[in-house]
Structure 1
């Protein structure tokens, strides 16, 4: 391997040093948990009897003996989500695989699994980001029975995998393995889908024609094939070391997919305390493995959602990772893939070109990964350069390295990258901080200085488009979309509209305290603006006609208005919202929401008074039980 890249080494050491005290406290908590409440050993006879009452005689005998490992399965199965529908039969397969090794497995619990594709542009999207932390809590509820020696997680999509990982880390004294279900077969080409969406937005095709296009894209069980948050999740789990090598993008219903699921059970059993090599999750998810995950994400132009999720996952492991860390890493990580929306290929094409094995090879050869890590396979990263293959007996083995890409237009080598920099960048200026995904934005569109058009909702921008008011050089500012305002929904419905204006030759960009996520495309979008408008961020003082500068090359996001003028302006107020489709139940979470740069969750209330926040809507103060109840009902 090449010598470790100096920037990667420096950033890693900085994160380690910055996190020293909280990381030590986390590890001490994990060790104390294992010492004081080891799985099953402190449960009473009545506790055990309740937990095994529904088991068959064989499993009941094994569980009561406490001599063999018992695995907990946390599942996000439902049959509405294409990515999660294949999980229906996984628990029975896992139980059979465990039995072959003399062990047992039980479903610890289920977690909610919402689809951002279904809620995109709808009221339900305002529950999406917070569902991550609810998944984490649901994970903890299932595992709190303390019946399990190791934990298996069945999850794919946007907030589900990060939520499961946050929950798993609270049980980091136990080993963990994530099992993917794989992508659906390729459908209509992504370029054609994007073109048809713009035609629909322009009124050139009707609803029935658009539905036919979408249905040809999303057409069967499995993960959506574009490189959004769901597929980015799988890549991150592999880089963190909680997936089997090369397992992320093997399609559902195939012999190799089944064999990998069986092998995941065997590997997890081997690293339980009752196995050959106890390897708890807190030893796997470390500062170094998290940096590796960032490198993998940047090298592939992955989802901007992970600028939120990785920060939250890191904090759950006692690690402080920042947007500045990610930006510095991005400066030295080459872009090695062209997967939609960063190109025309989909995730199946990436897999066929060499997939994760070739990607690991290239990043390791360039010295961009921390090598001294452990994972469910053992120590180091060499095994992740190997491609899984079926044995004659129907098992799986790792023997062959992938030394060349099968398609250099989709997956290239580190010495001939598509770009010398990663796909995400940090923007800073008097508006605060924001994230931009540049891997899909043409160079000529990465600098925009233009008058602002201010909108308080995505619906308002859509109305302006219908009136023809967006066809000008313009930076669209869409505010009151942050975690504390309305749960930070994704705003993809605006992308085709702004894309039409850009195609007509206008310089356009989007600036918002909301999200765009994995499908961020060709229009430059400064997202996750922090501090957000509802917490006093300067974005709340922007007016129509103000000149704003977005420069993705220098990392600048500035409102070019005199400071005295800005000081004289009053902060805008959030329009009244309808609390329908469950949104009123999340009012208390919006009150507790963290700034985007701290992960956008609600577990750490003290973050509301951190330096990341401007002038809070309501300053955090101790509340009586009555006051707290009233705030929740407001």
Structure 2
């Protein structure tokens, strides 16, 4: 299938825009790849320290026999349900390495926090910047520099982007990502959402709410809605950085363990075949565009309009929201997975999963097929799903037609002709909206603004009955420089209640909502942010605001002369004093000062 003209044009302009930075990046990884192996290059004391903790046979393999040595970077902790299974992965990987005359070392661990735990608390203000901490921890892990390849063990929101950014600093290494899969289905996401709305109205108490939440989040694995964590896995499949079909196999399934072993075999095959397929070469402009297309086709997390900008920058590639917007115009929506539908990711997987979506996009000319992947067969290998052999090992089978067209549809019969994300521009700045979950009659909202300086203030106004009308709720001082850009999920239930009562409501914020933003129209990531003197700092209660996801505009309908003459507000002194104090936030002050705009990836390292 010929590549779609828009996909080709977007790729071409990204390539041209990135020419100098990408060239410099490739020169850097070429120089690193040209060096002798670490055990030969380093001094004897360095080598002795690097392998002192190894069992004797492993030490012999790597030092004397010069066998390949795999770095394992592990995001394991048992606080995160999705990461708890990773505890036992290193031993599986080491067994495979030994069977093939190689070795593997846990090069380091990276922190991994759960946004579900910290949502609506001060700890959430560490969340976005934890991505860059994870990237730095990955770099520290790989800086021992005695590795021939790497395996990245991680799953959730900031963890995968952080691992990927860190791995790209060592772009000369062949690298495979190793997830753990979603938890089995519990209380449905839609039923959980209903209980949350009842709780917001005071119709059910804490006991009933906790019972519902615990029935939804009940075991090991990622949460089953299609938020940032599961969007991560979809994008890694589309980029060819997984073993094909790895994303959504549940923990505890024997297939899951075999896929982990296959990840070790895959990275060793790259090394031993001497195929020059380092991650820095694989993650090129075409690969990034493939990830963007997969995100749009599945109505994935809006967080990736920040994270994948940062990932691309780490590989010397410059993308922006105009690129996402152009692709969204031509990439159809092929899935309905909560919050864009009632199905969860297990139902998505059963209906065809990532492989089905990738095949449909390739066949429609909406993804680049001529890309490098961790498998020799290229991206077509990622259009099949894995099956365990009775005698051990794996084979891959064709997925065939959608098993449930309420969940996954062919590109010729999509749920929507365009993707699930929309760029909004106007006198309130640049922002994005996830329209795939929003009813069509709510794509345009025009109503008076109610301006809040915190999410707590909005919740208090809701409880006091002050928002029982058509209203655009504006929550400012939530950007990267203000307070680390926390997600504002606690606002979804009260706004959904107002919308359910027939009021026309919307949220406008320089904060985040991510993959679970739901059915209420929300213009998020407004840039420049209020703390940087952005337009939200000029808004006042009662200003008429128009959010138009059809035309792609976000505007305050105030006379231009009056608007231009307004002095921007400053962050309230008490809010500024409280920001960055307690819960370890003091340690992130430098990151808040240095953070780039959301559209620039909110990077703290450039």
- TM-score under structure 2 normalisation? 0.98
Whole-angstrom distance in 2 between the partners of 1:17 and 1:223: 38
* Native 8 Å contact 1:373 1:379 kept in 2: no
Structure 1 residue 241: Cα displacement: 1.0
In structure 2, the partner of 1:348 is 346
SS at match of 1:40: helix
Aligned length: 601
In structure 2, the partner of 1:414 is 411
* Counterpart mapping for 1:255-294 below 5 A: 255-272=254-271, 274-294=272-292
**Greater shift in the superposed pair: 361-370 or 307-316:** 361-370
* Counterpart mapping for 1:207-226 below 5 A: 207-226=206-225
Per-residue CA deviation, residues 176-209 of structure 1 (Å, 9 max, x unaligned), is 0000101100010111111100000000000010
Structure 1 residue 276: Cα displacement: 4.0
In structure 1, the partner of 2:297 is 299
In structure 1, the partner of 2:134 is 135
CA RMSD of aligned residues (A): 1.0
* Native 8 Å contact 2:310 2:600 kept in 1: yes
Gaps of 5+ in 1: 605-634
* Native 8 Å contact 2:37 2:146 kept in 1: no
* Native 8 Å contact 1:372 1:379 kept in 2: no
* Native 8 Å contact 1:130 1:487 kept in 2: yes
Per-residue CA deviation, residues 521-556 of structure 1 (Å, 9 max, x unaligned), is 000000000000000101101000001110001100
In structure 2, the partner of 1:443 is 440
* Counterpart mapping for 1:570-609 below 5 A: 570-575=567-572, 576=575, 577-578=577-578, 579-604=581-606
* Counterpart mapping for 1:603-618 below 5 A: 603-604=605-606
Per-residue CA deviation, residues 78-106 of structure 1 (Å, 9 max, x unaligned), is 00100000001001111011111110000
- Stretches (4+) displaced over 6 A: none
SS at match of 1:41: helix
Per-residue CA deviation, residues 551-595 of structure 1 (Å, 9 max, x unaligned), is 001100011112221233221111334211111111111110110
* Counterpart mapping for 1:232-251 below 5 A: 232-251=231-250
Whole-angstrom distance in 1 between the partners of 2:36 and 2:240: 26
* Native 8 Å contact 2:39 2:63 kept in 1: no
* Native 8 Å contact 1:255 1:394 kept in 2: no
- TM-score under structure 1 normalisation? 0.94
Structure 1 residue 167: Cα displacement: 0.3
In structure 2, the partner of 1:318 is 316
Whole-angstrom distance in 2 between the partners of 1:338 and 1:41: 53
Distance 1:37 1:599, change over 3 A: farther
Structure 1 residue 361: Cα displacement: 1.6
Whole-angstrom distance in 2 between the partners of 1:134 and 1:338: 33
SS at match of 2:367: coil
Structure 1 residue 37: Cα displacement: 6.7
Structure 1 residue 265: Cα displacement: 0.5
Structure 1 residue 36: Cα displacement: 4.2
Whole-angstrom distance in 2 between the partners of 1:153 and 1:64: 24
* Counterpart mapping for 1:10-409 below 5 A: 10-36=9-35, 38-65=37-64, 67-272=66-271, 274-398=272-396, 400-409=397-406
Give 2:538's match in structure 1, choosing from 538, 541, 545.
Answer: 541
* Native 8 Å contact 2:454 2:475 kept in 1: yes
Per-residue CA deviation, residues 357-383 of structure 1 (Å, 9 max, x unaligned), is 211221111111111101000253211
* Counterpart mapping for 1:391-540 below 5 A: 391-398=389-396, 400-540=397-537
SS at match of 1:165: helix
Whole-angstrom distance in 2 between the partners of 1:561 and 1:603: 38
SS at match of 1:263: helix
Structure 1 residue 66: Cα displacement: 5.4
**Greater shift in the superposed pair: 210-219 or 383-392:** 383-392
Whole-angstrom distance in 1 between the partners of 2:39 and 2:591: 34
Whole-angstrom distance in 2 between the partners of 1:101 and 1:39: 20
Per-residue CA deviation, residues 493-547 of structure 1 (Å, 9 max, x unaligned), is 0011111111111110000000000101000000000000000101101000001
SS at match of 2:478: coil
Gaps of 5+ in 2: none
Structure 1 residue 145: Cα displacement: 0.3
